[in-house]
Amino acid sequence: MIPLLHVSDLHVSIRTDAGIASVLDGIDLTLERGRILGVVGESGCGKSTLIRTIMGILPKGARADAGEILFEGENLLAFSEAELNSRVRSSRIGFIPQDPLMSLNPVFKVGTQMLEIMRDHAPPDGLRGAARQRARVQRLVGLLRRMQVPDPETALERYPHQFSGGQRQRLLIAAALACAPGLVIADEPTTALDVTTQHEILLLLRELVGEFGISLLFVTHDFGVVAELCDDLCVIYAGQTVEAGPVHAVLSAPAHPYTVALLACHPDRADSFQGIPGSVPSPLAPPPGCRFTPRCLHTTLPCSAAVPTGRSAVGTAVKCVLYA
Amino acid sequence: MLRFVLRRCGLAVPSLFGLLVVTFLMIRLVPSDPAAAMAGDAATPEQIALLRHKYGLDQPVWDQFVVYLGRIVRLDLGESAFTHRPVATDIAQRLPATLELIFASMFLSVGLGVPIGVLAALRHNEMPDFVLRVLSVLGVAVATFWFAIMLQLLFSMQLHWLPLRGQLADSVPRPVNITGFLLLDSLLGRRWDAFGDALAHLVLPAVTLAFGGLSGIARFTRAGVLDTLQNDFVFYERAMGFRRSRLIWRYVLRNSVTATVTQIGLLFGGLIAGGVVVEAIFDWPGIGSYTVQAILTGDRQVMLSVTLLVGVIYAVVNILTDLVHGLLDPRLLDRT
Ligand SMILES: Nc1ncnc2c1ncn2[C@@H]1O[C@H](COP(=O)(O)OP(=O)(O)OP(=O)(O)O)[C@@H](O)[C@H]1O
Ligand SMILES: [Mg+2]
């Protein structure tokens, strides 16, 4: 069976005043049905750009230069804006944004906004007019109750500012599920929340995957979150996929020098805190080939040529000449 | 909500009271002897004394102020030295014409300004944005009276499409007076001839008056929309597949018009002021031309009454503006 989402060799560049920024330079990832894929990378490595490319909402001046985004076998890059709206967004791909405080429209009732999502994208239910509206409200109230939003019956009549940050994230999760999509994409949905709330939300998401039959693409910079939530893992460095595989395999036996270095300096594991020497290259003038080369301990090898994908001993996919 | 409204009304009380004090002082203190000024040059000392007694000018200032307040509350604004009729009656008769003109130009400047502003923001640095910039410069630079005369020359004198001045042609009988508003009365009385003629008379003065406000409203709308588009929730709404037209004209616009509403409130005040010139040029039988006439004839009672009236209108518009803000942004209601 084909995977739900398969991104291969995706390249995205953004035209800026300072030149052309090569923001994504060879992203490969695969999300199988019913699983949770964590996409991990440092700030600025292109996680949000990847999500924007999948959703078809690129910033001004940005362009997908190469690659494919196969969703249920169809290449989303070939979809027009109108097609994305009518056949993909909300109906088949739900989105949970990073900042729950800023992502709801402050001057409309929560219910108005959630019903607007259902307006064009809810699966047909054979109802019309007032009956359909009632059914939709009922579905939303049920979702809110499931998300443990307090007073779900009246929540739709309230405004976003009348909810806390954690509650708003629950509203947004309900909104993502409102039209019963098969894929949900979440962009660091817990970064803005405190640790306890973050933990509750992760537990909730974990449960929802089985319960609603969704697959989850979860973007984060936090290996701790990945270990807690995800089945699979895809590590990104400066716009390039460097390593991908089942979470336990990657975490227990990291193969790519970047993954190794990153895990070594994670506060949960490191004996003493140490960063990776050097800094992330600018997307305006990236090194050729593997972008980790300038900071890598193994640079005697021909790293500046196109990097092949190899297999590590535990079977993870590694983009490094050490494993070619 | 009710508390919000009451609070806003409460805030207007001190400024209205201040206005009453100022107008009172203007009547009592500016001329050394108001009774003599009122009576005119030819009056005998007895007549002046009579007037002084009639208006209570021989009483202590505080008592006079209380009497003045009492009269204002009863809408007794004195008598016009020029028309020899109660000022309140004159104003009641002329106010509808002014309001009709102001509402028409508000309708034009908001109805055109908001869409122009939105388009300019969406087509940032493209053609619509460029058109708006030209309009803005013209809106500020072009003098109202010059613009009015140009319109008159072109559309009345040259093309004969629209009447030159006035509110209704002499050949058209006035519809039965129901509300005082000519257009409304024509509609209510099913006087289509009067309605058409009144509408034709309204076009040029309304366009003149709308012109300056239009560019202001468009500019504020443009800035508001550009600002709103930066918000995370716009990206979220796009990602969730909101239909583009609804996204812009409903979800973005509602967030963008806060500054525009303030501008509309200010505009209303500006329209009252600008209306004086426009009414004079187009011979529009409203408060503006009444004021001009009062200034030319030195009719103090009328000038002061108009000052009061404009102050009250400003206060009401301010309250309405706040109210609309509250309706547009529920966060404001919860804060008070
Ligand atoms: N509109 C834009 N114009 C120019 N450069 C951009 C633009 N958007 C993103 N970039 C650049 O692309 C790179 C990736 O940005 P992106 O927001 O995708 O990173 P991220 O991994 O989501 O970071 P974070 O963890 O901080 O959210 C960064 O170097 C950024 O400077
Ligand atoms: Mg990001």
In a domain, A71, yes or no: yes
Q: Label residue B216 by pLDDT band (50, 70, 90).
A: confident
Angle of helix A165-177 relative to helix A110-121, nearest 10 degrees, comes to: 20
The size of chain B, in residues, is 336
Give pLDDT, residue A25. Answer: 93
CB contact under 8 A, B233 and A55: no
Q: Which of A165-179, A186-200, A259-273, B305-319 has the highest mean pLDDT?
A: A165-179
Answer whether residue B32 shows pLDDT above 60.
Answer: no
Same domain? For A141 and A252 the reply is: no
Same domain? For A189 and A172 the reply is: no
Residue where a domain terminates, one of A180, A209, A237:
A180
In a domain, A99, yes or no: no
Answer whether residue B69 shows pLDDT above 90.
Answer: no
Give pLDDT, residue A268. Answer: 64
Nearest ligand, measured from the Cα of A43: 1
- Which of A288-292, B11-15, B281-285 shows the lowest per-residue confidence on average (mean pLDDT)? B11-15
Same domain? For A213 and A297 the reply is: yes
Same domain? For A171 and A235 the reply is: no
Q: Are strands A309-311 and A74-75 parallel, antiparallel or unpaired?
A: unpaired
H-helix or E-strand spanning residue A239 = none
Higher model confidence: residue B82 or residue A203?
Answer: A203
The amino acid occupying position A223 is F
Same domain? For A205 and A300 the reply is: yes
Q: Using an 8 Å CB-CB cutoff, list chain B residues near A116.
A: 237, 242, 246, 251
For tokens 């994670």, what's the residue? A266
Q: Label residue B39 by pLDDT band (50, 70, 90).
A: low
Mean of pLDDT values over A147-166: 93
Closest to A214 measured CA to CA, from A118, A92, A120, A119 = A92
CB contact under 8 A, B238 and A91: no
Angle of helix A195-212 relative to helix A165-177, nearest 10 degrees, comes to: 10
Same domain? For A201 and A232 the reply is: yes
Mean of pLDDT values over A136-145: 95
Over pLDDT 90: what percentage of chain A? 69
Q: Where are the domains of chain B?
A: 9-73, 87-335
In a domain, A304, yes or no: yes
Mean of pLDDT values over A173-194: 92
Half-sphere exposure of B198 (CA within 13 A, CB side): 20
The CATH number linked to A58 is 3.40.50.300
Same domain? For A187 and A151 the reply is: no
Given CB atoms, is A212 within the 8 Å cutoff of chain B? no
Give pLDDT, residue B82. Answer: 76
Mean of pLDDT values over A237-249: 94
Query: What separation in Å is there between the alpha carbon of A75 and the centre of ligand 1?
Result: 23
In a domain, A98, yes or no: no
Give pLDDT, residue B72. Answer: 80
Cβ neighbors of B252 (< 8 A, separation 6 or more) are: B225, B228, B229, B234
Which residue owns the Cα nearest ligand 1 atom 16? A46
Answer whether residue A52 shows pLDDT above 80.
Answer: yes
In a domain, A297, yes or no: yes
Mean of pLDDT values over B299-314: 83
Cβ neighbors of B90 (< 8 A, separation 6 or more) are: B80, B83, B290, B302
Q: By CA distance, what is B252's nearest residue in A?
A: A105
CB contact under 8 A, B242 and A108: no
Beta strands in A179-226 (DSSP E): 183-187, 215-220
Given CB atoms, is B232 within the 8 Å cutoff of chain A? yes
In a domain, A81, yes or no: yes
Given CB atoms, is B161 within the 8 Å cutoff of chain A? no
Structure tokens at A132: 């359909």
Alpha helices (H) along chain B: 2-29, 34-39, 45-54, 61-73, 87-122, 127-141, 144-151, 182-188, 192-229, 232-239, 244-246, 253-256, 258-282, 287-297, 300-328, 330-335
Give tens-digit pLDDT for B282-297. 888 888 888 888 888 8
H-helix or E-strand spanning residue A91 = none
Given CB atoms, is B2 within the 8 Å cutoff of chain A? no
For tokens 């640790």, what's the residue? A195
Same domain? For A172 and A187 the reply is: no
- Which of A59-68, A158-167, B225-234, B321-330 shows the lowest per-residue confidence on average (mean pLDDT)? B321-330
Residue where a domain terminates, one of A119, A145, A180:
A180
Query: What separation in Å is there between the alpha carbon of A283 and the centre of ligand 1?
Result: 9
H-helix or E-strand spanning residue A261 = helix A257-264
Give tens-digit pLDDT for A65-80. 999 999 999 999 999 9
- Contact call for residues B238 and A84 (beta carbons, < 8 A): no
In a domain, A35, yes or no: yes
Same domain? For A292 and A216 the reply is: yes
Mean of pLDDT values over B29-53: 70
Cβ neighbors of A154 (< 8 A, separation 6 or more) are: none
Same domain? For A120 and A32 the reply is: no
Give pLDDT, residue B326. Answer: 83
- Which of A64-73, A279-288, B135-144 shows the lowest per-residue confidence on average (mean pLDDT)? B135-144
Same domain? For A222 and A299 the reply is: yes
Q: Label residue B67 by pLDDT band (50, 70, 90).
A: confident
Nearest to B330 among A89, A99, A107 (CB): A107
Q: What residues line ligand 1, using a CB cutoff of 6 Å?
A: A 14, 16, 21, 23, 41, 43-49, 59, 221, 283
Mean of pLDDT values over B79-92: 82
Query: How many distinct structural domains can be found in chain A?
Result: 2
Give tens-digit pLDDT for A81-96. 999 999 999 999 999 9
Give pLDDT, residue B31. Answer: 55
- Structural domain containing residue A144: 104-180
Q: Label residue B217 by pLDDT band (50, 70, 90).
A: confident
**Cα Dmax for chain B:** 84
Q: What is the mean pLDDT of chain B?
A: 83
Nearest ligand, measured from the Cα of A285: 1
Mean of pLDDT values over A183-207: 90
Domain B87-335 has CATH 1.10.3720.10: yes
From the CA of A50, give the closest atom in ligand 1.
18
Same domain? For A188 and A164 the reply is: no
Given CB atoms, is A195 within the 8 Å cutoff of chain B? no
Answer whether residue B298 shows pLDDT above 80.
Answer: no
Nearest to A102 among B232, B244, B331 (CB): B232
Which of B236, B328, B334 should one mutate to test binding to chain A, selecting the residue with the greatest count of A CBs within 10 A? B236
Query: What separation in Å is there between the alpha carbon of A88 and the centre of ligand 2?
Result: 22
Given CB atoms, is B70 within the 8 Å cutoff of chain A? no
Q: Is ipTM strictly over 0.90?
A: yes
Answer whether residue B129 shows pLDDT above 60.
Answer: yes
Answer whether residue A262 shows pLDDT above 80.
Answer: yes
Q: By CA distance, what is A176's nearest residue in B?
A: B240
Residue where a domain terminates, one of A148, A180, A212:
A180
Give pLDDT, residue B335. Answer: 64
